[in-house]
Amino acid sequence: MRVLATLTAAALMALAVQGTSSAAAAEEAPAVEKPRLSAAAKNVRLRTVLPGTERAISIAFAEYGRKDVAFVSGEFGLKTFDVTDVDKPKFLDHLTKQEMALPGDDPSQRFWENEDINVDPKRKLAFLAREVNAFGRALPGERPTGTYIISAVNPADLKILTFHHEGTGHTTTCINDCQYLWTAGRDRTGEATGRIFVTDLRDPRNPKQLPVNVDVRGKVGEGKITHDVQVDAQGVAWVAGDNGTRGYWTDGWHKDPLTGKSRRATPVDPVPYAGGGVPKIDMPTSFTHNSFRPVGRTLMDGPKPTRENPAGSLLLHTEEAFGSSTCKDQGRFVISSLKGTENGEGWGATPKEMKTVGVWSPDDQEGTLPGDVTCSAHYFDVEKRIVAYSWYEQGTRFLDISNPAKPIQIAFWRPDAAVSWAPYWHKGNVFVADLARGVEIVSLTKDAYAAQESGTNVQLVTTSTPKVKIRDAGRERLPLVPDPDYGFACPMVASRGGSCGPGSCC
């Protein structure tokens, strides 16, 4: 049974915010009752909100001496905040859409999308990936893709060093201390294969796209997609996309399982490590969105190692899909074993499937809304065996994964009209990039940690009559529609008419 959790009066006050629709918009909107999503939260408290961050998409952090800076990427461009005092954040700078616009762009339209912002902590550079439909670009016109390279030496004075044209521009990731970038997304060249585009970034003012093909997926013209790259604590770069997730060494000497010979791995000629597909019963679409392998200094963040699942043998990853409004059938969180894929089994026309260790979704969990609600696993972050996980309109969930076969929910945060996009653990707090609400900084309560310690799942409420009446905070749902290029692998906010044609999404 799916039920709604109730809130205390204090929590309701924390969730209450000013409505976002203007009087003019109200006059244009049809006079029909709009669906409402009641708020719910448990074992989580709101600390503060970063102002002016509505339509936030991704977040990164960098240290400047004793100053702690958050980089917030969104449809508005890039904003920086001093979050040294997390309860009193200070706005620093805004790299605006007008500053980012290329010839032919419409700066009144949104910047899109940069799902996973990266920052070079040494050289203080930020990287923003640009998609084909940024700034209202539409066919048959030119639709440039690539990466903005931004100087953040002074986080209060952001400057664009250059825009680097590439064959795609969905996500871009630092490789080998940001000396190279691996950029993922749909291949916009004539080859139309799933692959990673590699950029030499040793001179950030003069980046060079290299003529190499990394992690090729599918045949020419087949249109397979690479989606995101995440580098683990041992330096293995995990590429997620169509047909699963595969990891590569990008530095040092390693045995290449495809040839049986040892060679030096580089960002332009990486050595395969492990990975593969996921059984259809657990990931029906075979599309992995992003991944994480707890190993090395992050081993304590992941599940407890056992004889069956030793250190470094587990891969945590997301299937983003929308075949079930409750994520019952797809769009779930999956934990896989890498054992048996270390000899190149994940490469080839039919990648070997990894063994599934655990699966979780919000379906039939406390705090979950029934009915037609946008629900899919999206980005997640892990700290001390707790996964902070975004599930769009089902909010941000907190899972204890100490036992990878049985993840349990210990807390959740689903405020009014939430569209949870990506959460980030940072110094004991979680920064939630919410497409509708902006960046909210939350903390788990002692009850959440008590639930983790005791292995107690947040229980289902067995009565449909709430003890406290849930007050509506006045926000409207943001209507999400499939991206014209990626479909529901990358939803976007619709125009008032509810569709997303050329230039209509903003």
**Three-state DSSP state, 159:** strand
What does the DSSP 8-state code read for residue 24? H
Above 50 in pLDDT, residue 77?
yes
Give the lowest-confidence range in 238-242, 373-377, 380-384: 373-377
Determine the average pLDDT of the residues in 279-284: 95
Phi first, then psi: what are they for 183, rounded to 5°?
Answer: -110, 130
Q: How far apart are CA 128 and CA 58, in angstroms?
A: 10
Nearest in space to 413 (alpha carbons), one of 36, 32, 39, 25: 39
Given pLDDT bands bounded at 50, 70 and 90, which one contains residue 500? very low
**Is omega for the bond preceding 144 within 30 degrees of 0, making it cis?**
no
Give the model confidence (pLDDT) of 285-311 as tens digits: 999 999 999 999 999 999 999 999 999
Residue 435: both structure tokens together:
């497409």
CB atoms within 10 A of CB 155: 21
Give the model confidence (pLDDT) of 99-152 as tens digits: 999 999 999 999 999 999 999 999 999 999 999 999 999 989 999 999 999 999
**pLDDT value, residue 477:** 75
Alpha-carbon dihedral 386, 183, 189, 101, rounded to 10 degrees? 100
Determine the average pLDDT of the residues in 187-194: 88
β-strands 262-264, 253-255 pairing:
antiparallel
**Three-state DSSP state, 316:** strand
Percent of the chain with pLDDT over 90: 75
pTM of the model: 0.89
**Is omega for the bond preceding 113 within 30 degrees of 0, making it cis?**
yes
CATH of 9-493 given 3.40.50.10490, 3.40.50.620, 2.130.10.10, 3.40.50.300: 2.130.10.10
Q: Could you tell me the residue ranges of all domains in the chain?
A: 9-493
Given pLDDT bands bounded at 50, 70 and 90, which one contains residue 11? very low
Query: What beta strand segments (E) does 232-371 contain?
Result: 236-241, 244-249, 253-255, 262-264, 271-276, 288-292, 314-319, 333-337, 355-360
Write out the DSSP string of 67-131: EEEEEEEETTEEEEEE-SSTTS-EEEEEE-HHHHPPTT--TTSPP---SS-EEETTTTEEEEEE-
Phi first, then psi: what are they for 456, rounded to 5°?
Answer: -100, 120
Cα angle value 479/483/496 (rounded, 5°) = 30
**pLDDT value, residue 147:** 98
Instruction: Please give, one letter per residue, the 3-state secondary structure of 30-62.
Output: CCCCCCCCCCEEECEEEEEEECCCCCEEEEEEE
**Three-state DSSP state, 501:** coil
Q: How far apart are CA 291 and CA 11, in angstroms?
A: 32
Determine the average pLDDT of the residues in 256-283: 97
Exposed / middle / buried, residue 465 (Cβ in 10 Å: 0-12, 13-18, 19+): exposed
Q: How far apart are CA 448 and CA 456, in angstroms?
A: 9
